[in-house]
Amino acid sequence: MPTPAPRSRHWQWLLVLPTVAPLLTPFANRLEPTLIGVPFFFWYQIACAVFAIVIITAVYLATREDNRE
Amino acid sequence: MSDRHVEVGVFLALMAVVVVLGFGAARWRASEDPQTLEEWGVGGRSFGNWVTWFLIGGSMYSAYTFIAVPALTYGVGAIGYFAVPFAIVTTPLTFLFTTRAWSVARRHGFVTHSEFASARFGSPGLGAAVAVTGILATMPYVAVQLLALQAVLRTVGFGGEWPMLAAVAVVSICTFRSGLRAPALLSVVKDILMAWMLLTAVLMVAMYGGWDRTFRVAGEHFAATPSPADGLLLPQVGHLGFLTLVIGSALAVFAYPHALVGMLAAKDRATVRRNAAALPVYCIALALMALLGFFALSRGVTPVDGDLNTVIPRLIHEYFPSWSAGIAYAGLSVAALIPAAVMSIAAANAFTRSLFRPYLRPDATPATEARVSRWVSLIVKFGAAALILAVDPAYSVELQLIGGVVILQTIPAVFIGLLTGWFHRVGLIAGLLAGLGVGVGMLYDIPRADGTGHFGGSSWSVSFLGFGPGTTVYVGVVALAVNLVVAVGLTLVLRASGVAAGVDATHPDDYLADAGDAKLKRLDGLIDGLPRKPLSVDGRGAHTAGAVRTREAEPALRSGSAAPESLSQSGPGPGSGSGSVPSVPVPRDAEGFPRELGAFSREASSFSRDSSWLPPDSGWPPRGGSGRPPGDEPDDIRATTTR
C-alpha cells in the first residue's frame, strides 16, 4: 500500500511553475528580444516546454520513492 | 521518373508498410486472451515508457493539430499559436491527475471516464450522460481528422472521396483486428516520419532566408491586412480570448474519452509520470509546426481552393525534395488515422461500458462486450466519414467546435472528480445540462465573419461588459463556469436538505495504487477477462484460476464492510452480482467466484437508491459536509473503510 511521505509530496507544488508560465502571455506579448529571428512571443513558449521537461523530471525524481513498494 | 512519381511512389510504399504493420500488430506483445475488451481496448494495459509516449503523442498530436495549427498561424498569426501554451499546460496536469486516474481505473477496472463518474458519484445516469457527451464530442473530432487526411490526399493527387474512404476502411480493419496495438505500433512509425518531416522543414527554413526573413515578411503581410485581430503579436483586446481558449482547450484534453485510453495502457504509475515529463517534447514539435505557418506565409504559398488545411501539404509539395515530401505525406496521413482509431475505440468503450452494459444487456459476457465495442468503433469511424460526405466540410469544423465546448462540461465529474467526491450526482447532472445549454446557446449566438448566421466560432464577444470592442471570451470556459456554479449550488442545497448522495465506490487509497498492489487488476485480462460462468468459454479457465489465487492472496483489509452484502438485491446465480459492496474492490458472487468489477458501479448505485444508511465514501476530506446525519453510519463500517 503506497503511503507517500508527506515531505516528498511538497515537491509537487513545483508543478505550479510550468502550469502558470505558459499562461503569462500578456507579459510575453512582445517581439524583442528575438532568438535566431524568432520573436520573443513564440520562442518563449518553446522555452516553457523545455522548462516543463526540467521541472516535471525534477519532481518525478524527488517523489520517486512514492512509487516503490 | 518525374518528381511527382517519386513523391507518390514513396508515399504509397510507406502506406503499404503501415498497413502490414497494422495487421501484424495483433501479435505484438500480445497476451493470451485477446477476446476481452480490456485486451482489445487498452492493449492489455501492458505498455511501457516508450510505447505509451508514442501512443499519447500519436493520439493527442494528430494530423488535425499538425495541419490546422499552421493553417491558423498562416491565417491570423499569434492567436493561432494558442495550441502551444495549451499543450504545455496539460503536461504538469497529466503528471498529477492522470496518475490518479490510472490508479483508480486499475483498481476498479474502468476503461472509460464515464465508468469512473458512475462509480465515484454512485450514479449510472451520470455515467451514461458522460458517455453520451463523450461520444457526441468525439464523432466530429474523428471527422476533422479525416478532413485533414483528405487535404493531404488531395495535395498528393488523390482527389475526391474514395481515397479517404479506402484509408478509413483499411484503418478500421486494422483496429478491428488489433485493437489498441495497431495505433500504438503505428504511432512509432508516425513519429519517425514526422521527425523527418520537421527536420526537413527546419532545413528548408534555413535555406530560404531563415526565421528573420520569415517573420519580417509575415509581419509586413499582417500589417497590410485590414483585420486588427491578426499579427505577429496578440492585439490588446485579444488576451482574454486567448487565455480562456488556452485554459479551456487544456482542460478539454482531459475530458475527451481518448485521452484516458493511451494512459490506461501504461504499465505503472511511474510510466505515466515519466511520460508527463517527456510529453513537452511534442509541444516543441507542435511549436515548430505552428511557426511553419509563418514560413508558408512568407513564401507566398497559396492554399488549394481556399482551404487553409492544404497550406502545409502545399508547402511540403513546393519546397521539399520529392522523396522527402512522400515521407511527410505518409507521416501526416498516419497522424490522421491513429487518432481516428484511438478516438473510435474510446467512444466505443464508453458506449459498451456505460450504456450497453448498464442499460441494454446487463448480462453481457466479456466476449459480447468486446464484440460490441469493435462494431461500435467501426460505426463511429464510418459515421464520421459519412458526416464529411453528407455535410459541408465547414459544418464538420463547426461540429468539432461545438464538441470542444460540449466535452468541457464533463470536467466537474471526470476531472475534478479525481480530487473530490464532494459533488452530489444530481448537481453534476444538472450542471452538465446547464453547461451544455449555455454553451450551445452562446455558440449559436456567434455570427459568422460576414456578420450573419450562427456558429461562427467559439469566441463570444464580451465588449458589452466594458472591456472594449473586440474583446472575446472562449465559450467553453463560460459554460463550464455556469456548470460549476449550478453543480456546487445544487450540491449544497441537496446536502442541506438531506437528499442521499450516491455512494462513492472508490476509496482514497484507490487513487494512489501502483503496479504490484495486490488489489490491482492484473494485465492478462483480469477485469473483463473473468467470465461470468467460469470455464465456459474457450480456454478461460487459466485466467480464472489465476484470478482466484490473486484474490485469495489479498489481505481481507476491509472485511468489516462486508455487512452490506446481505443487502444484495439482485437475483442469485453466477454473475448476477450479489454482494457487491462499494468500498470492497474485490467482491465475490454467491458461489464464491470473484466477480469482475466493471459491473459493480451499477450495483453500487442501486444500493444508494434504497439504502442511504450505507457508509458514504470514506473519506476524501472535502466530502465532510455530507447531508447524511452522522449517526447514520455504523461505526464499525466507518472504522474499516476510513483508515
Q: Tell me the pLDDT tens digit for each residue of B291-337.
A: 988 898 888 888 877 778 888 888 888 888 888 888 888 888 888 88
Average of per-residue pLDDT across B573-594: 35
Output the pLDDT for position A50: 93
Cβ atoms of B61 and B259 closer than 8 Å = no
Looking at the structure of chain A, the number of domains it has is: 1
Output the pLDDT for position B601: 34
HEC sequence for B352-397? HHHHHHHHHCCCCCHHHHHHHHHHHHHHHHHHHHHHHHHCCHHHHH
| CB-CB under 8 Å, A18 with B233 | no
Cβ atoms of B570 and B465 closer than 8 Å = no
DSSP class of B600: H
Any chain B CB within 8 A of the CB of A57?
Answer: yes
Of A4, A18, A42, the CB nearest to B81: A42
| CB-CB under 8 Å, A39 with B215 | yes
Distance CA B617, CA B500 (A): 12
pLDDT range class, residue B615, cuts 50, 70, 90: very low
Q: At what angle do helices B124-156 and B366-390 cross, to 10 degrees?
A: 50
Any domain includes A19: yes
Q: Which residue of chain A comes nearest to B276, CA vs CA?
A: A56
Distance CA B386, CA B392 (A): 11
Any chain A CB within 8 A of the CB of B203?
Answer: no
Smallest Cα distance from B17 to chain A, Å: 33
Smallest Cα distance from A68 to chain B, Å: 9
Residue of A12, A46, A66 to mutate for B, most B C-beta atoms under 10 A:
A46
Of residues A47 and A26, the one with the higher pLDDT is A47
Mean pLDDT, chain B, rounded, equals 72
Distance CA B176, CA B341 (A): 9
- Grid cell listed for B25: 500488430
pLDDT range class, residue B228, cuts 50, 70, 90: confident
Q: Which residues pair with B47 in a beta bridge?
A: B266
Of residues B226 and B89, the one with the higher pLDDT is B89
Distance CA B578, CA B257 (A): 30
Q: How many CB atoms lie within 10 A of CB B467?
A: 16
Torsion of CA B149, B153, B155, B157, to 10 degrees: -170
- Grid cell listed for B474: 472562449
Any chain A CB within 8 A of the CB of B467?
Answer: no
Amino acid at B130: V
pLDDT range class, residue B486, cuts 50, 70, 90: very high
Output the pLDDT for position B31: 53
Of residues A3 and B66, the one with the higher pLDDT is B66
Q: Which residues pair with B474 in a beta bridge?
A: B459
Output the pLDDT for position B381: 82
Any chain B CB within 8 A of the CB of A46?
Answer: yes
Chain B residues 574-633 with a CB less than 8 Å from chain A: none
Cβ atoms of B234 and B78 closer than 8 Å = yes
Distance CA B324, CA B349 (A): 38
| CB-CB under 8 Å, A42 with B276 | no
Any domain includes A47: yes
HEC sequence for B436-477? HHHHHHHHHHCCCCCCCCCCCCCEEECHHHCCCCCCEEEHHH
Distance CA B309, CA B303 (A): 8
Q: Which residue of chain A comes nearest to B92, CA vs CA?
A: A15
Q: Is B485 a residue whose pLDDT tops 90?
A: yes
ipTM at complex level = 0.87
Contacts of B608 (CB under 8 A, 6+ apart): B122, B123, B500, B501, B502, B503, B614
Q: Which residue of chain B comes nearest to A15, CA vs CA?
A: B92
Q: Which residue of chain B comes nearest to A49, CA vs CA?
A: B280
DSSP B475-513: HHHHHHHHHHHHHHHHHHHHHHTTPPPPP----GGGGT-
Any chain B CB within 8 A of the CB of A5?
Answer: no
Looking up cell 465508468, which residue turns up? B115
Smallest Cα distance from B598 to chain A, Å: 22
| CB-CB under 8 Å, A67 with B211 | no
Q: Which residues pair with B460 in a beta bridge?
A: B473
The full set of domain ranges for chain B reads: 44-494
Q: Which residues of B14-31 are buried (b: 16+ CB within 10 A; e: fewer)?
A: bbeebbebbeebbeeebb
Residue B460's φ and ψ, nearest 5 degrees, are -95, 130
Output the pLDDT for position B122: 83
Smallest Cα distance from B556 to chain A, Å: 13
Q: Is A51 a residue whose pLDDT tops 90?
A: yes
Any chain B CB within 8 A of the CB of A10?
Answer: no
- Grid cell listed for A13: 507544488
Output the pLDDT for position B554: 36
Q: Give the CA angle between residues A50, B266, B69 to the nearest 5°.
A: 45
Contacts of B600 (CB under 8 A, 6+ apart): B108, B119, B505, B577, B580, B587
| CB-CB under 8 Å, A41 with B270 | no
pLDDT range class, residue B481, cuts 50, 70, 90: very high
Q: Is B633 a residue whose pLDDT tops 50?
A: no
pLDDT range class, residue B567, cuts 50, 70, 90: very low
| A12: chain B residues, CB-CB within 8 Å | 96
Of residues B168 and B29, the one with the higher pLDDT is B168
Q: Which CATH number fits domain B44-494: 1.25.40.10, 3.30.70.60, 1.20.1200.10, 1.20.1730.10?
A: 1.20.1730.10
Mean pLDDT, chain A, rounded, equals 80
Any domain includes A21: yes
| Domain around A49 | 6-67
- Grid cell listed for B577: 452480482
- Grid cell listed for A68: 516503490
Smallest Cα distance from A6 to chain B, Å: 13
- Grid cell listed for B459: 469566441
DSSP A3-53: ---HHHHGGGGGGHHHHHGGG-HHHH---PSPBTTB-HHHHHHHHHHHHHH
Look up the pTM and report it.
0.75
Any chain B CB within 8 A of the CB of A32?
Answer: no
Average of per-residue pLDDT across B258-267: 77
Of B95, B246, B287, the CB nearest to A23: B246
Residue of B203, B207, B273 to mutate for A, most A C-beta atoms under 10 A:
B273
DSSP helix/strand/coil, B621: helix
DSSP helix/strand/coil, B567: helix
Any domain includes A1: no
Any chain A CB within 8 A of the CB of B269?
Answer: yes
pLDDT range class, residue A49, cuts 50, 70, 90: very high
Distance CA B172, CA B167 (A): 8
Chain B residues 499-518 with a CB less than 8 Å from chain A: 509, 512-514, 516-517
Looking up cell 464530442, which residue turns up? B137
Output the pLDDT for position B462: 73
Q: Which residues pair with B77 in a beta bridge?
A: B231
Any domain includes A51: yes
Of residues B56 and B595, the one with the higher pLDDT is B56
Smallest Cα distance from A31 to chain B, Å: 7
- Between chain A and chain B, the number of residue pairs with CB atoms below 8 A apart is 129
Average of per-residue pLDDT across B208-220: 84
Any domain includes A61: yes
DSSP helix/strand/coil, B344: helix
- Grid cell listed for B272: 505515466
| CB-CB under 8 Å, A37 with B92 | no
DSSP B140-176: HHHHHHHHHHHHHHHHHT--SSHHHHHHHHHHHHHHH
Of residues A43 and B546, the one with the higher pLDDT is A43
- Grid cell listed for B32: 493470451
pLDDT, one tens digit per residue, over B372-421 is 888 888 888 888 888 777 777 666 666 777 788 889 999 888 888 888 88
Distance CA B333, CA B336 (A): 5
Q: How many CB atoms lie within 10 A of CB B416?
A: 17
| A25: chain B residues, CB-CB within 8 Å | 85, 234, 239, 242-243, 246
Distance CA B2, CA B387 (A): 37
Over its C-alpha atoms, chain B yields an Rg (Å, rounded) of: 25
**What region, left, alpha or beta, does residue A4 occupy, with left being phi > 0 and alpha being psi -120 to 50 degrees?**
beta
DSSP helix/strand/coil, B594: strand
Of residues B409 and B472, the one with the higher pLDDT is B409
- Grid cell listed for B590: 454467491
Average of per-residue pLDDT across B234-242: 82
pLDDT, one tens digit per residue, over B124-138 is 888 889 999 988 888
Candidate from B187-196, B349-358, B460-469 with smallest mean pLDDT: B460-469
Residue B578's φ and ψ, nearest 5 degrees, are -80, 155
Output the pLDDT for position B521: 55
Of residues A18 and B448, the one with the higher pLDDT is A18
Amino acid at B473: V
